[in-house]
Amino acid sequence: MAHSTAEANVTSTQTQDTLPDEYVQLISAVRDFARQSVAPVSAAHDAAHTFPYGLVEGMADMGLFGLPFPEEYGGMGGNYFALCLALEELAKVDQSVAITLEAAVSLGAMPVFHFGTEEQKQQWLPDLTAGRKLAAFGLTEPDAGTDASGTRTTAVRAGEEWVINGSKQFITNSGTLITSLITVTAVTGIKDNGRKAISSFLVPAGTAGLTVESAYNKVGWNASDTHPLSLVDVHLPRENLLGTEGSGYSQFLRILDEGRIAIAAIGVGAAQGCVNESVTYAKQRSAFGKPIGENQAISFKIARMQVRAHVARTAYYDAAARMLAGKPFKTQASIAKLVASEAAMDNARDATQIFGGYGFMNEYSVARHYRDSKILEIGEGTSEVQLMLIARGFGL
């Protein structure tokens, strides 16, 4: 997907069927892949808690891991909005697959692309943009999630090396067979204002002292790879510092601002997927001699679900358009993430109610959306954090 003027011309007033042709073609291709390849195996991967290597290979073949990266690094020459459109289509049928792509691109490869040296980019990006390898982002710790000042992982200079000690948790894509890299944040000193100086480091998978602990037993996203990590005397060459020393805090703020738009796209996909499934079911399921969709209690519920999905989509389109235009988008990204995650959760609850007893069975996608969607209100900044950031936009 080569970059073009049409691709950059995205406004919040557009909908999927009014986008430039390049985007429409991408949506169609990913939608077909989601329906034909992802949907048939989603329930099985969810039940077995297995990572979908075959689907990752399929996404790699389509170039999805390289969507927002320049061709010189093996990318498709598109942009971040293209990634979001792909995430929305995938999330309609399987949030685990969508978050695998989102974390690999937004959290995994983007730090290298934004902040890496040319040598680091040439070393890591070709495999990551091709989907041959995956990268992870090691930020969260047991005492440091929203509050980065709680970071306890340390990196100390030792001659020509850095020595890292600490632990990370909830790290997506950190333990797969194709994980090649984990970006880890660590305290490297104290600033003049007394705050911790946080830096970022590229830790290759398999480095001595890096231990990928047992996978979590999660409520949802069961086909997504998520582990805690421990780092004990991990020795890295000095050139594995990402960007300048002490810039890690500002780096991950930028990554999270962008990532919230991507998470919003996943939320919209989940919300729309619940609408689509509910419409189909309401037309097919009969009670008291007629399809249940003919009852206003059902039809009005689905109408409200569609309103939520549409409003949330408009919000993430707006945030993405601002980002592509080089305008401030932090507040709009938080709005999109908040609205979309709530839409996903509310629609999943309503869809489960429409499906009745079937909605409680995990082989139905609405049941999986009910379990999967809650983390959208937590990951990459809780709903409370989004409200705080939105209020700050008003100077409050």
Structure tokens at 285: 């399921």
CA 19 to chain centroid: 22
Structure tokens at 362: 């995990």
How big is the CA angle at 350 (ends 346 and 355), to the nearest 5 degrees? 145
What is the C-alpha to C-alpha distance for residues 192 and 197, in angstroms, rounded to an integer? 9
Structure tokens at 195: 């705050």
Position 332: which residue type?
Q
- Specify whether 377 is catalytic: no
Pairing outcome for strands 286-287 and 290-291: antiparallel
CA atoms within 13 A on the CB side of 340: 34
- The dihedrals phi and psi of 327, each to the nearest 5 degrees, come to -95, 160
Torsion of CA 381, 387, 392, 396, to 10 degrees: -150
> Mind telling me the catalytic residues?
380
